[in-house]
Amino acid sequence: MDYPGKVALTLFTSSCNFDCAYCHNSELKKRVKEELGESEVFDYLDKRGKLLDAVVITGGEPTLRASELLPFMRRLKSRFPETLLKIDTNGWNADILQEFLKIVDYVAIDLKSLHYEIFSPVNLREIEDSIEIAKGFANHEIRITMFPPYLPEDDFEELSKICGGASLVSVQQYKPVAGLCETPPYPSSVLKRFADLISDHAQKVIIRE
């Protein structure tokens, strides 16, 4: 799932500048001490690299750690040139995203809402800039997590237009977090209706439940 169609090693970075109510990696919102260093990742790829197609870097928000990650990813590509690299991002900064797109083979960018001010320090316009840049990259995916308070049904039409021209959009069911975020999810029929709207604008839409 992390890299469509590929067997991937997924690395999690800590720190995030958003505060999504449904976050499933909330322990990674703050910066924590790394549990793995570069040499451990490279040793792992030396031993198991033949079984893996790709390395996925996710978080938290990985692009916040650009000064460390970009050199790490360049070294990884130089040492394991056959390994595909993917970055997941919340899309907060288009300029930094462009730096990552010089190295990666695949980008997944979130579209969370029309109302970013509720849970983030950025606004929709900044996210749209990042999404447009991602759409210009050969292998991209827009991911939409169907959290009802961030995605009211009245917004579906406008959100679907933001996906215009995307090669892949994944509509992902939101999973409640016990004790933290217990809003009931949308029924499958609502996800299907939204996916149908998006398919008028994007090349391919998948639903992940």
Binding site for ligand SF4 (CB under 6 A): 16, 18-20, 23, 25, 29, 59-61, 90
- Extract the tokens encoding 13: 């970075």
Q: Minimum distance between the CB of residue 25 and ligand SF4, rounded to whole angstroms? A: 5
Q: Minimum distance between the CB of residue 19 and ligand SF4, rounded to whole angstroms? A: 6
Q: Which is nearer to ligand SF4, 19 or 209 (CB)?
A: 19
Q: Minimum distance between the CB of residue 80 and ligand SF4, rounded to whole angstroms? A: 26
Q: Which is nearer to ligand SF4, 147 or 197 (CB)?
A: 147
Question: For residues 89 and 57, what is the distance between their CA atoms, to the nearest angstrom?
Answer: 9
Judging by beta carbons within 10 Å of its beta carbon (0-12, 13-18, 19+), is residue 173 exposed, middle or buried? Answer: middle
Q: Which is nearer to ligand SF4, 109 or 197 (CB)?
A: 109
Question: For residues 45 and 31, what is the distance between their CA atoms, to the nearest angstrom?
Answer: 25
Can you state the angle between helices 124-135 and 94-101, rounded to 10 degrees? 20
Q: Which is nearer to ligand SF4, 106 or 147 (CB)?
A: 147
CA distance to 1, 52, 70, 96, 148, per residue, from 103 (Å):
21, 18, 8, 12, 35
Q: Minimum distance between the CB of residue 2 and ligand SF4, rounded to whole angstroms? A: 14
Q: Which is nearer to ligand SF4, 20 or 142 (CB)?
A: 20
Q: Minimum distance between the CB of residue 174 and ligand SF4, rounded to whole angstroms? A: 10
Task: Work out the number of other CB atoms within 10 angstroms of the CB of residue 197.
Answer: 18
